[in-house]
Chain A
Amino acid sequence: MQSDRPKWQELELGCAVIVPGSTREYKCGDWASMTPKTDPEKCAKCGVCWIFCPDMSRYRDVRTGAYDVNKFYCKGCGICARECPTGAISMVEVSD
Chain B
Amino acid sequence: MAHRKGIEVSLGVAEAVTACDVDVISAYPITPQTHIVENLSEKVAEGELDAEYIMVESEHSAMAACCGASAAGARTFTSTASQGLQLMSEIVFIASSLRLPIVMAVANRSLSGPLSIWGDQSDVMANRDCGWIMYFVENGQAAHDHIFIAYRVGEDPRVMLPVMVNMDGFQLTHVIEPIELIERSELGDYIPPFVPKVQLNPLKPLTIGPASTPFMFTEAKKAHEEALFKSRAVIEDAWAEFEKRFGRRYKAVEQYHLDDAEVVILGLGGLTGNARAACEKLRSEGRKVGVVNLRLFRPFPAEDLRKALSKAKVVAVCDRAISYGGTGGPVASEIKSAFYGYTGMPYIASFIIGLAGRDVRISDFEHIAKRAEELANRGEPAPYELLGLRE
Contacts and interface: CB of A to CB of B under 8 A. Distances in A.
Contacts of A6: 216, 219
Nearest to A16: B198
Interface stretch (A18-26, A39-47, A64-72, A79-87): A18-26
A9 B207 CA distance: 19
Identify which of A1, A7, A8, A18 gathers the most chain B CB atoms within 10 Å of its CB: A8
A22 B198 contact: no
Contact of A8 (B98, B209, B222): B222
B interface secondary structure, majority: loop
Given A13-B99, A16-B198, A22 B219 contact: no
14 contacts: A8-B219, A8-B226, A11-B220, A13-B99, A13-B160, A13-B197, A13-B198, A14-B198, A14-B208, A14-B209, A15-B216, A16-B198, A17-B206, A20-B205
Contacts of B99: 13-14
Given A20-B205, A22-B207, A7 B97 contact: no
B197 A17 contact: no
B215 interface: yes
The 9 lowest CB-CB distance pairs between A and B, nearest first, are: A8-B219, A14-B99, A17-B207, A20-B205, A8-B222, A14-B98, A16-B198, A15-B220, A18-B206
B81 interface: no
A55 to B, nearest CB: 16
Interface in A23-74: none
B195 interface: no
Identify which of A1, A12, A13, A15 gathers the most chain B CB atoms within 10 Å of its CB: A15
A7 B97 CA distance: 17
Given A13-B99, A16-B198, 14 more contacts: A1-B215, A6-B219, A7-B219, A9-B223, A11-B219, A11-B223, A15-B97, A15-B216, A15-B223, A16-B208, A16-B209, A17-B206, A17-B207, A17-B210
By size class, the interface of chain A is 10 to 19
Nearest to B97: A14
B212 interface: yes
Contacts of B98: 14, 16
Contacts of B209: 14, 16
Interface of B: 97-100, 160, 197-198, 205-210, 212, 215-216, 218-220, 222-223, 226
Contacts of A19: 206
Nearest to A28: B213
B240 to A, nearest CB: 26
B37 to A, nearest CB: 26
Nearest to B197: A13
Identify which of B160, B216, B218 gathers the most chain A CB atoms within 10 Å of its CB: B216
B215 A5 contact: yes
B218 to A, nearest CB: 8
A87 B197 CA distance: 54
A12 B218 CA distance: 14
A22 B215 CA distance: 17
A6 to B, nearest CB: 7
A18 B198 CA distance: 8
Identify which of A13, A14, A19 gathers the most chain B CB atoms within 10 Å of its CB: A14
Contacts of A12: 198
Contacts of A18: 198, 206-207
Nearest to A1: B215
A7 B160 CA distance: 20
Contacts of A11: 216, 219-220, 223
Contacts of B97: 14-15
B204 to A, nearest CB: 9
Nearest to B206: A18
B211 to A, nearest CB: 10
A8 B206 contact: no
A93 B97 CA distance: 38
Contacts of A15: 97, 210, 212, 216, 220, 223
A1 to B, nearest CB: 8
Nearest to A5: B215
B201 to A, nearest CB: 11
Contacts of B218: 8
A29 to B, nearest CB: 14
